[in-house]
Amino acid sequence: MPCPTRAAEPRVATVDWSVLETLLALGIAPVAAPELRQFREIAVEPAVPSVVTDLGLRGTVNFELLLLCRPELIYSSSFYVSSEPRLTRIAPVERFSIYVPGRPPYEPAAAMMRSIGARLGRSSEAERYIVETEAEFALLRERLKPYAARPMIPINLGDARHFRVFGADSMFGEVLKRLGLANAWTEATSYSAMAPVGIEALARIPEAWIGLIPPVPPGALEVLAGSTFWNALPSVRAGRLLQLASINPFGGLPAARRFARLLTEALLTERGHG
């Protein structure tokens, strides 16, 4: 169905979630964006207004619906280069590259926010958000000083025997560094993560906290709960397993702030473990 007319707001659309986060953080509701139900479940925040039209899957957006939304500008990312020939027939496209193998994504995410802010008349809001983000990290870093002696390994479970781990070129890895915490995973990753990694790899980092980030496959935790090997892992045996709420693993600054806040809350809740 046709998109609603909202003359008071910039007519921009996006096919990328990190851009969607950034637009919403700046107080801009795009006319259209993809997979909004999944975004609300996985990224969670910022909240998506009901007036934003859902374009369907990120990799195969509904181009006809996007055309009906009459965007004047479409924001994309390096993940969706293959869609650009069709997107450019609808409106000019601006692409951002936050996630590049071997490059930390935090500064590119901040640069993206500044660029969007400048283009859409929200430069002051962009600078304020970046300053507030750094201030929040500084505050949380002080609270986490007692935990700086132990590294953290941020993972997603693939199943009960494998996981995906996030390295130094992930937003999770960047946040750990800015919070004064070491990433226990020091091996190379590609586009932020490595998978599949066998559960046995966790035995090589017995001193670490394990940060378990959704989604969790159905039944995986139940299988692990009955696994002798899993329960014998030093981190698990010592209670250093943190189950966090859902976060967009390929997000922008809003995802970085959400991860920092959830991780801090989880660590402080587990105050009794060392």
pTM of the full structure: 0.94
Give a three-class secondary structure readout of the chain.
Answer: CCCCCCCCCCCEEECCHHHHHHHHHCCCCCCEECCHHHHHHHCCCCCCCCCCEECCCCCCCCHHHHHHCCCCEEEEEHHHHHHHHHHCCCCCEEEECCCECCECCHHHHHHHHHHHHHHCCCHHHHHHHHHHHHHHHHHHHHHCHHHCCCCEEEEEECCCCEEEEECCCCHHHHHHHHCCCCECCCCCCECCEEEEEEHHHHHHCCCCEEEECCCCCCCHHHHHHCCHHHHHCHHHHCCCEEECCCCCCCCCHHHHHHHHHHHHHHHHHCCCCC
Residues (pLDDT < 70) of the chain are: 1-9, 271-274
Sheet holding 162-166, edge to edge: 193-198, 162-166, 152-157, 209-212, 241-243
Residue-level pLDDT at 270: 79
Q: Smallest Cα–Cα separation from 154: which of 182, 133, 196?
A: 182
Sheet holding 93-96, edge to edge: 53-54, 32-33, 12-14, 73-77, 93-96
Residue-level pLDDT at 188: 87
Q: Are the C-beta atoms of residues 217 and 224 closer than 8 Å to each other?
A: no
Q: Are the C-beta atoms of residues 172 and 164 closer than 8 Å to each other?
A: no
**Domains 6-96 and 133-269 agree in fold:** yes
Question: Residue ranges of the domains in the chain?
Answer: 6-96, 133-269
Residue-level pLDDT at 8: 53
CATH tag for 6-96 (out of 3.30.450.40, 3.40.50.1980, 3.40.190.10, 3.40.1190.20): 3.40.50.1980
| Residue given tokens 């959830």 in the structure block | 262
CATH of domain 133-269: 3.40.50.1980
Give the tens place of pLDDT for each residue, 208-264: 999 999 999 999 999 999 999 999 999 999 999 999 999 999 999 999 999 999 999
In whole angstroms, what is the distance from residue 95 CA to residue 73 CA? 11
Residue-level pLDDT at 190: 84
Residue-level pLDDT at 7: 44
